[in-house]
Structures are given as structure tokens and as C-alpha cells.
Amino acid sequence: MVAALLALPIAFTGCSQDDPFEFDDKGKESIDTPSLVQSAITVSQLTFEWNEVEGAVQYAYELRDPQEELVSGNVTTSTTATFTGLKDNTIYTLNVWALTALNSEKKGAPVASLKAKTDEIIQLSAPQLASGKGNGGVLISWTAIEHAASYSYVVYDDQGKKKKEGSVTESQVLLGGLAIGTYTIEVTAVSDQEAYSNSEVATLTFNRERLELWRRTGTYESASNGKFTADIVSYDDGSYAIEAPYGEAGYAINFSVDPESSEITIQNGDYADGYVSFNVSSNYWLYSYTAGGYSSFSGDRSSGEVWFFTFCYDISGTMQGSGSGGHDAFYWEQMSAETWSAAGSFVMENDPDKPWEATIYANGNNSYTIKDWYSEGFDLNFTVDSEGKVTLITDESDDSYWYLPGSDEYWAYIYKPGLGYDAVFTGDMSGGSIKLYDYYDGWITYTWGAGTATAP
């Protein structure tokens, strides 16, 4: 039996600063005191090592906190000790005794002590948030935070009601399905390493604005004032606008459509007794009734018609046409061809102020080419299947990207389907768009207007 076993109850039950391994063996020479080193540190763990002392058969050790309270202790034949579950940024003291056998000619060494400090937990930096238009919603992006494993987010409306929450590993999130209005998003950088704590909450207030889905030019036919060329615009919140219905810019008829009855509701007028009044130009205003079968909308991007019952007055209040009112209508006609071309323009999400022009060609068999898409001599070729799935035609690709050359120096890294950034194609000869997501530049959107049929 060794001295350590006799001394353990004394060593690890009290807080005395006296050496618990001091025996009545005066006249004996002490063995060497071990030299302690700190070999590993984390925010919650310390590892110590010491040299093997000649004549020692065991080593007793204890770890004490800054208040000299015992944290842990033991006896070992090893020359290392590891302590876990410690507090971060805290100084601990290790005491080690080299012990001899009871019948040894030498006595144990005096205590060796070493102080060591656990690492401080580092809080992740808070993300810097920005908002922009995304494919079908609002894109919230931020700079990637070093050591962040993911980012949690919560979205509230202007009444403080939670609308969305989730977690992403990318430094952005596309928020779809939000109604038009003002929202606040909170984003936290989340760590999965004990050396780092979650960031402070980053907050951004943003507006969800309606986005244009498609636009067609057609004819507005007034029951009392003739025909005018105007545009109809479809928005992603289900609303529509007839711009310049009487041929004068700056005026519009904004409306929504009841999905069951197909009746319209005018959104930019003053209502009284079921009628709505609104200006259609600087010289004329309408007094309309749209409920109970007195209006209807039908159609889509390709073709369609909207009509409603109305009275027309000039700015002086004089009624136009017959005193019994009539039906104003706007219609746009079918434009289709297997092969066609149309002028359009590109814009990059990360550089929206620098659009550039290019021409799209429908080649037939759902095959398309955007000629000189980024610079002269570099075409963007793709196909679209019956479900709208886009496949780029390029010589370079892997499981994640299509590598698309735009010039001798520039290549786009376009995400393939299934990674959360699917390419989106909508449209025909009457107009449309294709959206591609690039690893570096974000959404690259090409939009074209009404085209011209070409020979196959």
C-alpha cells in the first residue's frame, strides 16, 4: 500500500491549504517535484500533463476553482489528467503530489501547482441584413458569418403577429406567400460549436411589394368614348391593372377578381351605394357597378377580356354617351407561333442598375436560344419541358451546377433543380421571363415583350 491511499480522505474532503500528504518521515529525502504543463484548453475542458518522477508509484491530483472549492480529484498512475464540464473564461488551479510507497527510502514530493484558464466563449457576429425582390417573394440576404452552422429566422407582420419562422444554412432566405404590407424579420447566426455562442438578433423591416408577372398590350373600348391602346398588367398578389385606359399615362384601373364569380372589384376608387368612382384620364372619370353579374374577367397571359358596367362623365360632370350607361371592355388577343423572336433585357440581382439587352429565339420543340446573352459570341441555349422544367444546354456541368460561359473571362454557375433555386420559365410569344440563380450573382432575370413570328 502507498501513502496516497492513506491520505486520500484528507486530501479530497477538506479545503485546507496544508499539504495533506505530509507524513512523519523526517530525515527522508523527497523525490523530485513533478513539472506541470497545460496541454489542451477549450471553453469547458482543461488537460494537464506532468513528467514521470523517479521513485513515484502514484500521483494524487485535485483541481480547485477561483474560490478554492474542490472541483475534482483522484489518484492515478498516469501522468495526465483531463477535467470537463468547466466554466468558460475561468482560472483553475491544479495541485499534483508525487507519492512513494510506504516502505520507500524516500518520501513523496511537495505539491506542484499550476494555474490554467479556460477559453472564453466567443459570440458570433450578428448578420447584416438586406432585402430585395426574389423569385415569387422577398429575398432576405446577409453576409455569411464565420463559424455559423445555420441561421434561424422569424418574420412578423406590422401588428407583431408571427407569420413565418425557420432555419437555413445559406446566407439568405426567400420569403414567399406574404401579403402586401410591412414586415420585420429577425435573424440569428447559430453555432454548433461550444467555443462560440449564438449571435445577437439582427432585425430588418421591409415592405412586401407586389411584383409584375406579365404584361400585355390590348384595346380598351369605352361605351361612350371610342377605343384606346392600353396595357394590362398581372401581379403576383392576384391583382391586375389596366394602364392608361383612355390613352393617358399616369392613370390606371386597379382591380381584383373573385375566383368563384369572376367578377371584378375596383381597388383605386371611392365607393358609395355600391358604385365606385375613379379617374381614367385628366378629362374623364367613371361611375361603375361591378357586382351582381355586372362585370367579368376571363383569360391569361395569352389572351383574355375584362368588362364592367359604367357611366362616364367628363371633368365638368357632364355624362357621356347614353344616360343608361354601358359596358367598358378591355381585351387582348392570342399571339402564338412555334418559332418567334423577341427583344428583351437581362438584370442581375446583385447589380440591378446595369441591365443589358439580348434577343430570345424560340426554335420550336420547346427549345430556346438567347443570342449573345452576356457578350457577343456567347449564346444561352435551353429547353423547357411540359411541366416548365428548364434544362440548360452547356458542355460543362456537375451534380449541382451548369457552368455557363458569358465571355472569355466570365462564367455563370447556375444551380440545377432540386437545390432550392430552380430555374423558372414563364411566357410565350406574347412576352415572358426566365430566371436563373447564379452562385455569385444571385438571380439573373431575362424578360422579353411581345415577339414576332419567324420562319421555322
The more confident residue out of 26 and 249 is 249
Give the per-residue pLDDT at 12: 35
Give first-to-last CA distance, the chain, whole Å. 101
Task: Report the pLDDT averaged over residues 177-194.
Answer: 91
The three-class DSSP label of residue 5 is helix
Half-sphere exposure of 44 (CA within 13 A, CB side): 6
Is 25 a residue whose pLDDT tops 70? no
In this prediction, residue 8 carries a pLDDT of 40
DSSP string for residues in 390-441: EEE--SEE-SSEEEEE-SSS-EEEEEPTTSS---EEEEETTEEEEEEEETTT
Higher per-residue pLDDT: 20 or 41:
41
Q: What is the pLDDT of residue 440?
A: 87
List alpha helices for 72-205, DSSP H. none
Q: Note the pLDDT tens digit of each residue in 392-413.
A: 998 888 889 999 988 888 889 9
Please give the pLDDT value at position 20: 62
**Percentage of the chain lying above the pLDDT 70 cut:** 93
CATH number of the domain at 212-332, out of 3.90.1070, 2.30.29, 2.60.120, 2.40.128? 2.40.128
Question: Are 62 and 72 within 8 A, CB to CB?
Answer: yes
Nearest CA to 417 out of 387, 397, 390, 398 is that of 390
- pLDDT at residue number 456: 58
pLDDT of residue 14 exceeding 50? no
| pLDDT category of residue 336 using cuts at 50, 70 and 90 | low
255-289, pLDDT tens digit by residue?
999 999 999 999 999 999 999 999 999 999 999 99
Query: Which three cell numbers mark 285?
Result: 372619370
- Confidence bin at 9 (pLDDT 50/70/90): very low
Per-residue pLDDT at 342 exceeds 60: yes
pLDDT number for residue 13: 31
AA letter at 400 = S
Q: What's the pLDDT score for residue 21?
A: 59
**49-63, 225-239, 279-293: least confident range:** 225-239
Phi, psi (degrees; rounded to nearest 5) at 4? -60, -40
Q: Is the dihedral of CA 126, 129, 134, 138 positive or negative?
A: positive
CATH 2.60.40.10, the chain: domain bounds: 3-117, 123-208
Q: Which CATH number fits domain 340-453: 1.10.10, 3.40.50, 2.40.128, 1.10.3470?
A: 2.40.128
Give mean pLDDT, residues 149-154: 96
What's residue 338's pLDDT?
Answer: 76
In CATH, which of 3.20.20.140, 1.20.950.20, 2.60.40.10, 2.40.50.100 is domain 3-117? 2.60.40.10
Mean pLDDT score, 83-110: 92
- pLDDT score recorded for residue 329: 97
Q: Where do the CATH 2.40.128 domains begin and end in the chain? A: 212-332, 340-453
pLDDT, residue 23, reads: 53
> Whole-number mean pLDDT of the chain?
88
**CATH superfamily, region 123-208:** Immunoglobulins (2.60.40.10)
Q: Which amino acid is at 447?
A: T
Check residue 10 and give its pLDDT: 34
The pTM for the full model equals: 0.52
Residue 364's pLDDT is 83
Mean pLDDT of the 132-152 span: 85
pLDDT at 136: 58
344's grid cell = 428583351
Question: How much of the chain exceeds pLDDT 90, in percent?
Answer: 64
